[in-house]
Amino acid sequence: MSPGLPQPTEHRATLARSVRLLSAFRREQTDPEYFYGLMARDTVAQLRTYIRLDGATVIDVGTGTGLFARELAAAGARCAGIDHELAELVSLGEPGRNTLVASALALPFRSGSADVCFSSNVLEHVPNPWQMADEMVRVTRPGGIVFLSFTNWLSPWGGHETSPWHYLGGERAARRYERRNGRPPKNLFRQSLHPVSVAGALAWSRSRDDVEILDAVPRYHPRWANGIIRVPGLRELATWNLVLVLRRLPANEPQASDPQDQRG
């Protein structure tokens, strides 16, 4: 990790935290280890508010260079990670322990094997996002937690490095990027970057009778801004990144009502 990184030990969704994360986000392209190191620490603190991590078995879907997996392990979790490309796993050297090259659409783990199934900023990069989400639920034990975050397409960063031109269309934004940079973007529209919506995530989670929605919140925002998730249209533009936290229900346990009544 980069020296001098803030090290949150308690998750508090304050305005100061939002400023810190969004300021760090400006370095996401030039110093990804700084930004994602901070995000990993913050996310582990957030995850601890839902489940005890010490001794927990965690599956990290789309583990990449393993920044999140290392923070999870530092919190006492037993972590296994998968990524669909070996190049991602070894881009910073030796891959982390218990990492596999595998597809997020067919996780190589038995059903109910994890206390936590975790994924950060991967869902928008798979061609069938809700199949990946289904797989995350499948491998989570009853009573366990699914923690799923992604950048929604209509957010200011929805086009990733082609933003904000993705608002004019993904293909057009990619062509503009290539003209200006002499190479195509890493994230190609409808190949390695897919339009996923907040509404789609809420509809998918509500369609399942085996999960309870614990939270659906904008990842970088202070707690008092959570209400934007309830507003169709606005939530797609203002969320930036959605965190969806689910609890896998034990058999025959009725599904609780949506705690935030996020209809729409």
Structural domain boundaries of the chain? 15-152+196-248
Domain 15-152+196-248: give its CATH superfamily: Vaccinia Virus protein VP39 (3.40.50.150)
* Tens digit of each residue's pLDDT (9 = 90 or more) over 218-235: 999 999 999 999 999 999
Higher pLDDT, 108 or 31: 108
Q: Distance between CA atoms of 58 and 117, rounded to whole angstroms?
A: 6
Q: Distance between CA atoms of 18 and 20, rounded to whole angstroms?
A: 5
Q: What is the DSSP letter of 100?
A: E
Average pLDDT over residues 134-147: 98
What does the pLDDT read at residue 90?
Answer: 62
Radius of gyration of the chain (CA): 18
Whole-angstrom CA distances from 258 to 71, 182, 184 are: 30, 47, 42
Angle between helices 32-47 and 67-74 (to 10 degrees): 40
Q: Yes or no: say if 253 and 247 are a contact pair by the CB < 8 Å rule.
A: no
Q: 8 preceded by cis ω (within 30°)?
A: no
The answer on pLDDT for 4 being more than 70 is no
Closest to 238 in 3D by CA, of 246, 247, 249, 226 = 226
Average pLDDT over residues 18-36: 77
**How many CA atoms lie less than 13 Å away from 143 in the CB half-sphere?**
3
* Tens digit of each residue's pLDDT (9 = 90 or more) over 147-206: 999 999 999 999 999 999 999 999 999 999 999 999 999 999 999 999 999 999 999 999
**How many CA atoms lie less than 13 Å away from 138 in the CB half-sphere?**
15
The burial class, CB within 10 Å (0-12 / 13-18 / 19+), for 208 is middle
Average pLDDT over residues 35-59: 92
**Cβ-proximal residues to 163 (8 Å cutoff; 6+ apart), any chain:** 156, 157, 173
Closest to 124 in 3D by CA, of 37, 47, 190 = 190
* Tens digit of each residue's pLDDT (9 = 90 or more) over 51-84: 999 999 999 999 888 889 999 999 999 999 999 8
